[in-house]
Chains A and B, each alone.
Chain A
Amino acid sequence: MPLSYFLGISIVMFTIGVLGVLLRRNALVILMSLELMFNSANLLFVAYANYHQILTGQIMVFFVMAVAAAEVGIGLALLVAIFRVKKSIDIDQMSSLKG
C-alpha cells in the first residue's frame, strides 16, 4: 500500500479527534478524543518507521502509549474529583475561573 494511504487515515482520524474536543461537552468523551489523536500520531510513527526501515519509530510509539496511560489515569482521577464537587462532568459548567 502507498504511504499516503496511512497518511490519509491518520489525517482524518486526527481531525475527528480535534472535532471531538471542540464539539463534545462530556469531559469523558473529550478525553477519548485525545486518545484518538494519540492513536493517529502513533499510526504515523509506525508507518514512517516502516517507510524508512528504522525501528526508532516503534519504540517512540511504545513510550507514547506509556505516557498516554499515565495521562488517562490522572485525567480520570481529576474528573472523579471534579464530579464530587460539581455533581456534573459537563465541560461548560467548569467555569469557576471565569471573571
Chain B
Amino acid sequence: MPVIGTIFYVFLAIVAIGTALGMLLNRNAIYCALFLVLNFATIAVLYLALGAPFIAFTQITVYAGAIMILFLFVIALLGTEMLSAGEPIKGHRLLAIGAALIFVVELVLFFIVRNQVTGPVQAIGSDFGSPKNIGVLMFTEYLLPVEIVAFILLSATIGAIMLTKPDRKLFQKMTRPRD
C-alpha cells in the first residue's frame, strides 16, 4: 500500500474515534449530535473504501440525514441540552472506565488474537456491492425480511403517533370556544 493511502486510513481512524470520544465527553447534547453526524460520515467513507457504495449513501441519507435531524429536533423541542453536573453514585465513573478497559482487552483477545483473521481486505470489482446487485438479492432471496421490515416501520410509525398524542380531555378543554 502506498504511503498516501496509509495516511488516509490513519486519518479516518483518528477522525472516527475522536468524534466518538467527543460525543462521549461533551456536556452539550447538541454538540454530541453534531459529533455523531461527523462520525457517521467518516464511517460512510470507510464503507466506500470497503466496496459498499449503496450502504455508504444509505448511511448518509438515513443516519446522518433522517435520524440525526430527528434527534436535533427533539433536543430543540425539549430544550434540555444541558443537565446539571454531578455524579449520582460514588466511584461510578472509575468503575465504568475499568469495565470498559476489560471489555476492550476481551474483544481484542477474541477477535484479533484468537480468530487470527488478519488477512488483508481484498480489492474488489466495482459491481460487487452495486445497488443493482443488492436490489436483485434483496427482492429475490430476502423478500420476506423486506416485507417484515416494512411492517416494523409501519408499526413504529403508529406507535410513535400514539405515544405522543396529546391528552384528549386536556386538548378539548384547551380548544373549546369560550361561551
Q: List residues of A whose CB falls within 8 A of some B CB.
A: 1-9, 11-20, 22-26, 28-29, 31-33, 35-36, 39, 42-43, 46-47, 49-51, 53, 55-56, 58-59, 61-63, 65-74, 76-81, 83, 88-90, 92
A25 to B46, alpha carbons, bound, how many Å?
A: 31
Q: In the complex, which residues of chain A have a beta carbon less than 8 angstroms from the beta carbon of B103? A: 15, 18
Q: Do B24 and A55 touch (CB < 8 A)?
A: no
Describe A's contact surface by its main secondary structure. helix
Query: Across the interface, do B13 and A9 meet the contact criterion of CB distance under 8 Å?
Result: yes
In the complex, the answer to whether A74 meets B88 with C-beta atoms within 8 Å is no
Nearest chain B residue, comparing its CB with the CB of A78 = B163
28 A-B contacts, Cβ less than 8 Å apart? A3-B119, A5-B13, A6-B50, A6-B121, A9-B17, A11-B108, A15-B104, A24-B24, A28-B78, A42-B59, A43-B43, A49-B52, A50-B50, A53-B128, A55-B129, A58-B52, A58-B134, A62-B54, A63-B145, A69-B153, A70-B156, A76-B74, A76-B160, A77-B160, A77-B161, A88-B80, A89-B78, A90-B83
Residue with the greatest number of chain A CB neighbours at <10 A, chosen from B24, B32, B77, B155: B24
Q: What's the A-B contact tally at a CB cutoff of 8 Å? A: 220
Contact yes or no, A28 B63, CB < 8 A: no
B153–A76 CB distance below 8 A: no
The answer to whether A20 touches B83 (Cβ under 8 A) is: no
CA distance A67 to B51 in the complex (A): 23
Pair B62/A79 contact, Cβ less than 8 Å? no
The residue on B at minimum CB distance from A65 is B62
Task: Please tell me if the beta carbons of A25 and B88 are within 8 angstroms of each other in the complex.
Answer: yes
Q: Which chain B residues border A65 with CB–CB below 8 Å?
A: 58-59, 62-63
The answer to whether B74 and A28 touch across the interface, beta carbons within 8 angstroms, is yes
Given known contacts A36-B39, A73-B70, what 17 new A-B pairs fall within 8 Å (CB)? A1-B9, A3-B120, A13-B16, A13-B17, A19-B24, A22-B96, A28-B71, A28-B75, A36-B23, A50-B50, A50-B51, A56-B137, A58-B55, A65-B62, A70-B152, A72-B67, A80-B164
A55 touches B55 (CB 8 A): no
B142 to chain A, nearest CB (A): 6
Q: State whether A69 touches B104 (Cβ < 8 A).
A: no
Is A11's CB under 8 angstroms from B163's CB? no
A16 → chain B closest CB, angstroms: 4
Is B7 an interface residue when CB atoms closer than 8 A count as contact?
Answer: no
CB proximity of B5 to chain A, nearest CB, Å: 8
Let me know if A25 and B83 touch, CB within 8 A. yes
